[in-house]
Amino acid sequence: FPVCSQCKMIAYCSRKCQKAHWKQHKSQCYPAGDDAQQYTNGGAPSAGALGREEAVKLAEQLKQEGNDYYKVKDFKAALECYTKALDLVPNGMVYALNVAAVHYAQQNYLQCVNFCETALRTGQDSPLLQKAYTRMQAALLQCRGEYCLQTVAPELQSSKGVQMA
C-alpha cells in the first residue's frame, strides 16, 4: 500500500486515492518525529494572553460544557465547545478526540479521521491512544468507499478486538 511519506500514519489502496485525500490530510499531516505543537495553529500561541494554567482550566470548562451538549445530541454546540478547548490547548489529546467524536456522530467520517490523526500526534504516550486508533478505524470503515483508506499503525493492527477490513 502507498503510505503518506511525511507522517507515515495513513496508507491508501492506490496512488489515486492518496492524491484524492491529500487536500484534507495535508492540514493534519506533519513529518514523523517532529514536535506537533509547531504544526498546530501555525505555531502561534494557543491561548493568546492566557497563561498555560488558565488556558487548561478554561479548556476543561469548555470540555464539560461540550459533554453536556453531546449527551443531549446538540452536536453543533458540542463541536463549538470542543473546538474552542482545542484552540486553547492544541496539544490536548482529549479535546481532539472529542471533536472527532462529534464528527463521527454527525457522519463526517473524514473529519473524524483528521482529528484522530491530530490526537495521535499530540498524545504519543497517552492512555487514550487505543481510543484514538479505534475511533479512527471505525470512521475509516464507514468512509472506505470514499477514499479506500486503511491505517497502517502497528498498534491498531495488533489491538485486541480491532479487526482490519
Q: Give the model confidence (pLDDT) of 103-156 as tens digits.
A: 999 998 888 988 998 888 886 667 888 888 889 888 888 876 555 444 434 444
For CA atoms 73, 76, 79, 80, give the dihedral sign.
negative
SS3 category, 78: helix
What is d(CA 102, CA 92) in angstroms, rounded to the nearest whole number? 16
Residue 12 DSSP class: E
pLDDT of amino acid 40: 40
User: Does an H or E element contain 151, and which?
Assistant: strand 149-151
Q: Cell numbers of 111, please? A: 473529519
Nearest 5 degrees, angle CA 15-CA 110-CA 148? Answer: 35
Distances, alpha carbon 14 to alpha carbons 20, 44, 95, 133, 142, in Å: 10, 35, 32, 22, 18
pLDDT at 88 over 80: yes
pLDDT at residue 58 is higher than 70: yes
Per residue in 9-36, pLDDT (tens digit) is: 666 666 777 777 777 777 666 654 444 4
Question: pTM of the predicted model, to two decimals?
Answer: 0.61
H or E segment and range at residue 150 = strand 149-151
Exposure on the CB side of residue 152, measured as CA atoms within 13 A: 14
